Amino acid sequence: MNQSLTLALSKGRIFDETLPLLEAAGITVSDDPEQSRKLILPTSDPVIRVVIVRASDVPTYVQYGAADFGVAGKDVLLEHGGEGLYQPVDLNIAKCRMSVAVSAGFDYASAVRQGARLRVATKYVNVAREHFAAKGVHVDLIKLYGSMELGPLVGLSDAIVDLVSTGSTLRANHLVEVEQIMDISSRLVVNRAALKTKREKLQPIIEAFERAASLKQ
């Protein structure tokens, strides 16, 4: 039985914060994806390799079995839907929150109270739709792929739904966080078929990740 494993990671914070978890499982990656242009990185374990993909593509690679497992933010998983994915561990890494923000001068509370139709720009249309529907606020959602912070500044939208960690991006753009929707962290995602066919190789890694993550709480 082929027990080789492919792990999908995005470069940047997810790669950086997954390295210590891999080390806890006895696996090291010597290439740095920020330096190297390689998209497939070998590891110290000859049967385990890492593929570098866009953060929002991790669930797709794992869903179709092009990668056996991966690490993805809850934000990304909620938009993807999680189909075909087993999500055994909250890794407690790449933490932030999903929030609603508006321009410093915008009176969000009274706009919501008056039942005005709010224009909301976001990459996270599913989360945003559910959040405002639950509050009974009517919204026009404008899908963006990045730089959401610009939306209210140029009159594209009244509000944005985006990830916030330190708050410095909002401050630098004169935006104010008016609602926190949910806490975000990254999860381990495993292809459902691989979990069965490659359990022998996967299980110890999942357990090592679980132990290392529980120490991070």
Give the binding site for ligand PRT (CB under 6 A): 10, 12-14, 54-56, 73, 75-76, 94, 96, 146, 162-169, 184, 186
Q: Among residues 164 and 194, whose Cβ is nearest to ligand PRT?
A: 164
Least Å distance between CB 107 and ligand PRT? Answer: 23
Least Å distance between CB 77 and ligand PRT? Answer: 9
Residue 189: which H helix or E strand, with range? Answer: strand 186-191
Least Å distance between CB 142 and ligand PRT? Answer: 16
Q: Among residues 56 and 92, whose Cβ is nearest to ligand PRT?
A: 56
Q: Among residues 186 and 198, whose Cβ is nearest to ligand PRT?
A: 186
Least Å distance between CB 57 and ligand PRT? Answer: 9
Could you give the CA distance from residue 196 to residue 217 in angstroms, rounded to a whole number?
29
SS3 142: strand
Could you give the CA distance from residue 149 to residue 168 in angstroms, rounded to a whole number?
11
- Listed in sequence order, the residues at least 6 apart from 71 whose beta carbon sits closer than 8 Å to its beta carbon are 7, 8, 9, 10, 14, 18, 58, 91, 93, 186, 187, 188, 189
Q: Among residues 110 and 166, whose Cβ is nearest to ligand PRT?
A: 166
Q: Among residues 43 and 173, whose Cβ is nearest to ligand PRT?
A: 173
Closest CA to 188 of 48, 22, 34, 42: 22
Least Å distance between CB 15 and ligand PRT? Answer: 8
Q: Rg for the chain (alpha carbons), in Å?
A: 19
